[in-house]
Structure 1
Amino acid sequence: MLYDKKALLVVDDAWNPEHVEPFRVGGSDCRVLVTTREAVIKGATAYKLDVLTPDESIKLLEKSCSSLKLEERHLAQELAATVGYLPLALDLAASQVAEGVTWTELLEDLQKDIAYLETLDLPGLEKYSTEEKRKHYSLIASFNLSLRSLTPEMLQQFAWFGVLPEDVNITPAMAATLWAITPRQALTTLRSFKTKALVLPGITLNEQQTYRLHDLMHDMAKRSLVSEPSPYQPHELPGLGLKLAEAHSQLLERYQNKTTSGLWHTLEDDGYIYANLSWHLEQAQRVEDLHQLFEEETEKGHNGWYEACDRLGQNGIFVTDVARAWRLAEDMYTENSSNSIYLQCFYALITASLNSLVANLPNDLLIALVNKKVWTPNQGLAYALQSSNPSQKADSLTALANHLPPNLEKLALEKALAAAKLIQDERHRAEALFALVDKRPELLPEALAAARQIQNEESRAIEALFALVDKLPSELLLEILVAAKQIQDEESFPEALFALVDKLPPELLPEALAAAKLIQDEEYRADALSALAILLSRIPTDQLFSFWKQILHELSLRTRQNLLADIEKLVPVIFALGNDAAIASVNCAIQDVARWWH
């Protein structure tokens, strides 16, 4: 997709070099910028950022400690050097001084803790220089001193941050559930943590301040969560002594106590749990509960979790949760093949049903629903964003943008532009960009460039393939398949596969599947894979499940009507995967999803 594009991909805070590799996919005009604290990225040019200067460090300290007297300034300079001029360590130190700890006491405690940590020779630091190790030790010592200043209750509350995913915004309502206290008490505690520089200010959500954790603080909280309540070493802090899965289960129980009859879709929105419920269920190893989440129904017989997410204008949460549950369903194939096939088809049908909803809603009706206040602007935008077809998404967002408040209009146009740039067909991409030019005049050169690239593939290539297939021996079909792959017009390539499908021997099917998956346009790619679906049952059983997973995901990107037709073609495959039990399971999945989306 990015091979012939100009793009800068930013991979922030990479801890593992392997996590960077999937982003190294662009062509010669693409660049990847990686920020990392520790990882060594193979083949990358390193640009090391300096820490604060001594003068900048003093200015940072004075923000919290007002102007410093001459003697205090000397001590502050020595402290800044001790912590390696690291901003986070300086913030922690400043918060302690603001609470009454003297510079002398703080400096002595830090130096004592750092000296002790150096004697431990902590694992994982062997590759770092002495100076880098000392900075690491100074940061740990700063954390420990700040945490030791907490009351036992606040230390436990801090440890519970370790059950949260990284980079989330923490609301007072969410913290109230996390700590089993009132929202007012939670807000007071969060403010106290912020004063101590243990949490950072987050975004403003519904006119209320949220909070977030620095990733190093999150790591410290996670360690505290699982550490023993009675530490073995004097420098260690007492923890909660929980296993991670157990901690996630306890949090889920606190939330479930706030539901009606244990139904997750009845939860009040606290700005956190809807976006993270499925993640917590997976982390708690409550996979059956996650699958059950999608079986919940409202009093009117609608899908409960979908309705709840839709009500919030957060349909993306539902789509993300379906993807997580689908992945877990695939993982259980070896232990329960029929239930795995049922769940995979169940989630594929849900995905296709959502695509059908988007495909069947004209732009005029979408706009009317927003203008008549049947839907909130957020719901209308969320609906338009659901489409997996870039062309359709760009069209809907562009049409809807004029009917949204300014903040959502800006977001809609940004998403429309992003979708337009993903359109692989030159003609459709040019049309989408021209539609945006009225609102974004600066896009005119790009739209004109796309228009100049439009090329019509001659139908002679397809006609020639049709003529050759029936006249050549099977051993030459590979050459025909290679010729078909050269067809640039993605709309024509599925037709070529239809011409070849009855003649392809099983050993060429992987080659044909690989070619089909290279098609960029989702609709044409699904057409090509659908043409090949009937041949899947010829693949050896030990390879079949892998192909099945890939094709089902692709076919689910179309409408439910398309998917149902494709499932009919896949019946021999389903039987090969799980015999009659799998066929019955798929039938159940079709009926179950039909209850909510007709």
Structure 2
Amino acid sequence: MAATLWGVEEAEAANRLELLCNDALLLPSPPIQVGKRTWPAYHLDQLLHDVARRLLTTNQTTGLGIPLAKGHAELLKRYRVRTQSKLWHTLADDGYIHARLTWHLKQAGWGDEIHKLLREEISPGCNGWHEACKRLGQTAIVVADVALAWQLAEDLFEDDPLRAIALQCRYALIVSTLNSLSADLPPPLLGALLQKYVRVPKQGLAHALQSSNPETKAILLTEISDYSPQNLKEEALQKALAATKVIQYEQDRLNALKSLVLKLPPSLLPEALAIARAMPSGITRVEALKSLAPKLPPNLLLEALTIAKAFSHRNSEYCRALALSAVVDFLPEKLKAEVLEDALNAAKAIPSKEFRDNVYRAGALTAVADKLPEELQAEVLEDILTAARAIEEDWCRAIALSDLADKLPEKLQAEVLPEALAAARASEEDWSQAIALSVLAPKLPPDLLPEALAAARDIQSESDRATALIALASKLPEVIPEAFAATRAIQSDHARASALSALAPKLPPDLLPEALVTARGIRFERDRASALIALGSQMSKMQTGELLPLWQNTLHSLSFQPHRDFVPNLLALASVICALGGRAAVAEVVIALQDVGRWWP
């Protein structure tokens, strides 16, 4: 550093420093290692430091005639001469500058240079400053520099809201990435943010293909296909389908396939149907067929029908009834009657010996009943009602009766709903009573709501009581304050965050400040962030002066999450980003995601 400041050779600087130390103007420090060479190090005595600082910060008449900020700037100019193409990350190690560069930049008033420093890039796609510090074994420098840059970005809001919000998101993304350094990009790739803001470049497809996780790759490619030109769209979907096929966990494979189905061109539907056929579990195979059936051409519908008839494992009648019901609407007219009869026979063949059998029987009969002509429904509905009433578990019986109620004649419906409510109230466990009341609540007529509310209030567990009250709040808005009070009383951070998230869309403006206080009081970062995210749409309606500090706290909380979780949660705050920085800020966030994904793939 001394050689750079004085503009002399290193040996000359070393001699001068030694002389100053001999004259007691400097004190010795532990030696430093620069490359393979060890150099003596020195520091100012505190008294001399204070005198020098005073002389640099006083007026020019009695001081040294150079402001402190200008002194920092002069040093930086001399270091800049030693860079390549004026890129700070190209500075050679001198045992000093890497750890103190951003401090000097801030003191010189060169805040923009700090933001530029953290965006410097080395081909082929590495962050220059991170790589420079990594070579020195001092990546902690980057963490400290990002923290400083983040603070500068927050201070920038009054003068340039758009840039301030974009930079804050960028630095939160970097912090999350450095905390986890996961091997793959997060699945969403800000798909919803890409819409209306930016176009996905061709390299986005190549970047998505680099992911080693098939599930991540499938979801990334599915998202990208929405924003790709036609020539890239089919390629993205084909690659997404190939990735879906090799996803290890069946439920994840099903979810990926369902996301793809509506976007697939006809040429890829046979492969999608093959993936559905290969699902080991009957239930997931049914769900896959249900999602595919509306898209299939006649020849593939016949193949889907063959798959639907071919269940041969435990619960095969239940799965066959559901699968046939799923495809029947899309079959040629001449086949519909026969297929419906097969589905009905399969549902009726489900035994009623055990509790689970009755649940399956009621569910299968309900699925078939939806497809039957009106003249045949009455008989089937009677069978369904018998099966539902035979379910021994009170809460399961309540749910089955609730599911059936919409399909019954008005007179019978008036009989079944009180019966379902009585079954819900008879459930002995708080959790099961809360689930049953939650399912039943949207279907209850006004005259049954007071009884349901009394049942909810009788639940002892704060968490389960909150669940039931929140479900009833859609029909009884006056219950919202009570539901909120129950939510605040929940001891578990995770349960409190879940309840607050469910309640968020229903909260009136006067309860929002308290809800935000409750969310901020959740101790665990992930739970706190999920609650704050759920409140995001409400937050975006606040005045900027109230919203800004809350946004900053939320973003800091989010940055502690793993990279994989951080990005979709940032996506959920798009409305807040727009409220503070406008749509252009969202576009900048997308660019930040692409940059960080390139630097730390």
TM-score of the superposition, structure 1-length normalised? 0.50
* Structure with larger Rg: 2
Q: Which has the higher contact order (CA 8 A, sep 6+)?
A: 2
| More helix per residue | 2
TM-score of the superposition, structure 2-length normalised? 0.49
